[in-house]
Structure 1
């Protein structure tokens, strides 16, 4: 059963960051499932069926940008909104945009900014599902390019 606001798959190799994100999103009504790296994310994403995925960039086994690329390449997950929550460099932002990342939040972050980003992405997914096309708007969320 999904949380009132939706289900979020939080992927970060830091247990402290996973817990911080979990607590802040659960307080806002989201159901949160976590994974410790990109490989674990790909293992659980189909059973979790998230509404939004947050990814750290630097993780063992499979980093966040390669995970995002694999999620985009899979027709079962290509529609899922993805946010990078990381200490992003300009190169990370450019690489993220090239693989279709929908939003970015730099660490350290304000909890209300995290919640606002996840809400916008979840709402954008609902709008895309209703219209079967569209973008997620502005304010930390970049529209995904279509090819």
Structure 2
């Protein structure tokens, strides 16, 4: 029985088959999803060890799948984003890609294997929220708790951004006075 699961989310059967054929033979199972909704459902059910995600998908885009994975740490796995147009990816996600790998279609087997290796390394750097490893005293964490914490994090990030902006303004003011 396969010990590792690789999920390929792409609306093109040709790409899904190509990825399956290019993967080195080993002790893993290749799962497939033809759109973002099916991909998210498969991630929830199967908890893959690696996700290969096309950026342009029907029903739920790769960007939306990526955002859901970002928002829910229990869905995370090493991630390789795939697209024939890198500029569409960089419009939404700024480089350098810190926690996942990107591969431009079409690609060769060597490029695919390197992207997977890189995604595995980058995944280890992905910050895990304290919440993911320490459930509430009651045992389980409710979605309301997670949502409340997410709102607090968003508020704190906005405050941090405001403080950074104020600090830059202060530094500019000091520089002007020192001239």
TM-score range, shorter chain: 0.7 to 0.9
- Aligned with residue 49 of structure 2, among 48, 51, 57: 51
Cα distance in 2 for residues equivalent to 1:122 and 1:100: 12
- Aligned with residue 89 of structure 2, among 92, 97, 101: 92
Cα distance in 2 for residues equivalent to 1:66 and 1:22: 24
Match of 1:82 in 2: 79
- Aligned with residue 20 of structure 2, among 22, 28, 44: 22
Cα distance in 2 for residues equivalent to 1:18 and 1:55: 10
Deviation of the 1:132 alpha carbon: 6.7
Deviation of the 1:100 alpha carbon: 7.2
Taking structure 1 as the reference length, the TM-score comes to 0.72
Q: What SS does the corresponding residue of 2:74 show, helix, strand or coil?
A: coil
Q: What SS does the corresponding residue of 2:23 show, helix, strand or coil?
A: helix
* Kept in 2: contact 1:26–1:32 (CA 8 A): no
Match of 1:60 in 2: 58
Structure 2 portions without partners, runs of 5+: 130-156, 158-179
Higher Cα Rg: structure 1 or 2?
Answer: 2
Q: Give yes or no for the alignment of 1:33 onto 2:31.
A: yes
Q: What SS does the corresponding residue of 2:63 show, helix, strand or coil?
A: helix
* Kept in 2: contact 1:68–1:100 (CA 8 A): no
CA RMSD of aligned residues (A): 2.9
* Kept in 2: contact 1:72–1:100 (CA 8 A): no
Deviation of the 1:36 alpha carbon: 0.4
Deviation of the 1:44 alpha carbon: 1.1
Taking structure 2 as the reference length, the TM-score comes to 0.61
Match of 1:112 in 2: 110
Seen in structure 2, the aligned counterparts of structure 1 residues 61 and 122 have a Cα distance that, compared at 3 Å, is same
Deviation of the 1:81 alpha carbon: 2.1
Flag the structure with higher helix content. 2
Larger RCO (alpha carbons 8 Å, 6+ apart)? 1
Cα distance in 2 for residues equivalent to 1:119 and 1:90: 23
